[in-house]
């Protein structure tokens, strides 16, 4: 397969931004575009879940190029719910692989802070299937049901979720752009309010503003795209806590990259609800079924462990600006390659909706 390379990855701070979504997108992209030489760029893929509902901002795929001084580029917006950033990345890679384009900008931005929590929950819940909506299900309730199944099936006490939340918050403390940089003690964790039992405040990602960008090119760099996969499937009631869309995406990415789970050095996995990291790691074949929470407790998936997972702090600690998170994971992998100097391959996994439109990308250090 012809190689596609990553240049000039960049992340904004995650948290609360006082300006517009267009302004945040411009601030994130301008340095990358300038340093790469803007005249070489031929396309822009702009990812965002719902800027119109969140901020009454429209047609950003045209306004951003104008702000950046780019003329006559192919520019579109991509939306696949909470996997929008990851799907935009894969579309950009495929545009270059097609041979039609050589260089392009992928940017993903979401500003969620201008809506209150109740309106946010209603907007996020709109991506659920008609069947799930008829049941009165919310996103948090769906996450809680899967978590309960995982704990009960594999015999973990509910209190073990602390070790997962603790790891993610500890990792976020080391990430300068993370929204939640908090030393999470047992006292704080076990006094948290329950949002959807067994999930509490420190098990669920926050509402966030944030932006991520990178440039894709045929020109060589230190990081290339090794393989990609996607999975589109309904959320089924599996005997085990598992997502069919995950399994399809991982299988296709491994096949395209001609690698196995054992070749992966570290991972950034979608953890809008912290136990989704466990499900993702097991669906990926990185850890045997039912063992992921045990391996968190044992230190395997910590930054100094054999298989670091979500060393960035994940969506839980870094923050989860919905349409941007999938691309942010890929940018974080580019950053983390400099920390995990002995690792050659890394994998990212992004969930769209309640695990129904998922994307997996494998990156390689050249």
pLDDT > 70 fraction of the chain, expressed in percent and rounded: 99
pLDDT of 236: 66
Cβ atoms of residues 301 and 309 within 8 Å: yes
Mean predicted confidence (pLDDT) in 239-245? 90
pLDDT at position 302 is 98
pLDDT, position 136: 76
Q: Is residue 28's pLDDT more than 80? A: yes
Give the end-to-end CA distance of the chain in Å, rounded to a whole number. Answer: 15
Who wins on pLDDT, 234 or 162?
162
When comparing pLDDT for 44 and 234, which is higher? 44
Say if residue 78's pLDDT is above 70: yes
CA distance 89 to 110: 16
Which of these, 68, 77, 92, lies nearest to 6 by C-alpha position? 92
119-129 average pLDDT score: 91
pLDDT score for 237: 60
- Tens digits of residue pLDDT in 322-358: 999 999 999 999 999 999 999 999 999 999 999 999 9
> Is the per-residue pLDDT at 137 higher than 90?
no
pLDDT of residue 133: 79
Residue 130's pLDDT is 82
Quickly state the pLDDT bin for 238 (edges 50, 70, 90): low
DSSP notation for 107-172: EEEEE-TTS-HHHHHHHHHTTS-HHHHHTT--HHHHHHHHHHHHHHHHT--GGGHHHHHHHHHHHH
Contact of 113 with 209, CB cutoff 8 Å: yes
Q: Could you read off the pLDDT of 160-175 as tens digits, one per residue? A: 999 999 999 999 999 9
Query: Is pLDDT above 80 for 146?
Result: yes
Q: What is the mean pLDDT of residues 207-228?
A: 98
The rounded Cα 263 to chain-centroid distance in angstroms is 21
Q: What's the pLDDT score for residue 193?
A: 94
In this structure, are residues 111 and 21 in contact, taking their beta carbons and an 8 Å threshold? yes
């Amino acid at each position: 397969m012809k190689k596609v390379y990553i240049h000039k990855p960049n992340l904004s701070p995650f948290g609360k931004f006082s300006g517009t979504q267009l302004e945040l997108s411009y601030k994130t992209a301008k340095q990358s575009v300038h340093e790469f030489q803007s005249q070489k760029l031929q396309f822009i893929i702009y990812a965002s879940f719902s800027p119109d509902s969140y901020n009454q901002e429209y047609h950003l795929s045209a306004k951003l190029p104008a702000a950046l001084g780019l003329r006559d580029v192919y520019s579109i917006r991509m939306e696949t719910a909470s996997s929008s950033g990851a799907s935009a990345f894969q579309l950009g890679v495929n545009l270059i692989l097609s041979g039609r384009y050589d260089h392009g900008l992928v940017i993903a931005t979401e500003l969620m802070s201008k809506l209150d929590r109740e309106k946010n929950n209603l907007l996020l819940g709109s991506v659920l299937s008609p069947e799930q909506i008829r049941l009165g299900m919310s996103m948090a309730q769906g996450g809680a049901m899967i978590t309960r199944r995982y704990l009960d099936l594999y015999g973990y006490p509910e209190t073990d979720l602390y070790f997962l939340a603790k790891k993610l918050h500890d990792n976020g403390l080391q990430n300068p752009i993370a929204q939640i940089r908090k030393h999470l003690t047992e006292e704080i964790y076990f006094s948290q309010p329950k949002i959807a039992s067994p999930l509490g405040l420190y098990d669920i990602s926050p509402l966030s503003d944030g932006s991520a960008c990178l440039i894709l090119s045929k020109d060589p760099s230190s990081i290339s795209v090794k393989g990609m996969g996607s999975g589109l499937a309904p959320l089924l009631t599996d005997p085990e806590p598992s997502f069919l869309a995950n399994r399809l995406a991982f299988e296709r990415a491994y096949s395209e990259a001609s690698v196995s789970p054992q070749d992966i050095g570290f991972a950034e996995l979608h953890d809008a609800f912290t136990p989704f990291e466990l499900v993702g790691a097991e669906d990926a074949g990185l850890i045997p079924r039912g063992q992921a929470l045990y391996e968190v407790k044992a230190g395997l998936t910590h930054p100094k462990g054999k298989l670091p997972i979500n060393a960035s702090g994940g969506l839980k600690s870094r923050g989860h600006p919905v349409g941007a998170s999938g691309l942010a994971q890929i940018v974080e992998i580019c950053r983390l390659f400099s920390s995990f100097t002995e690792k050659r391959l890394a994998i990212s996994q992004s969930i769209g909706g309640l695990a129904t439109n998922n994307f997996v990308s494998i990156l390689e250090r050249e």
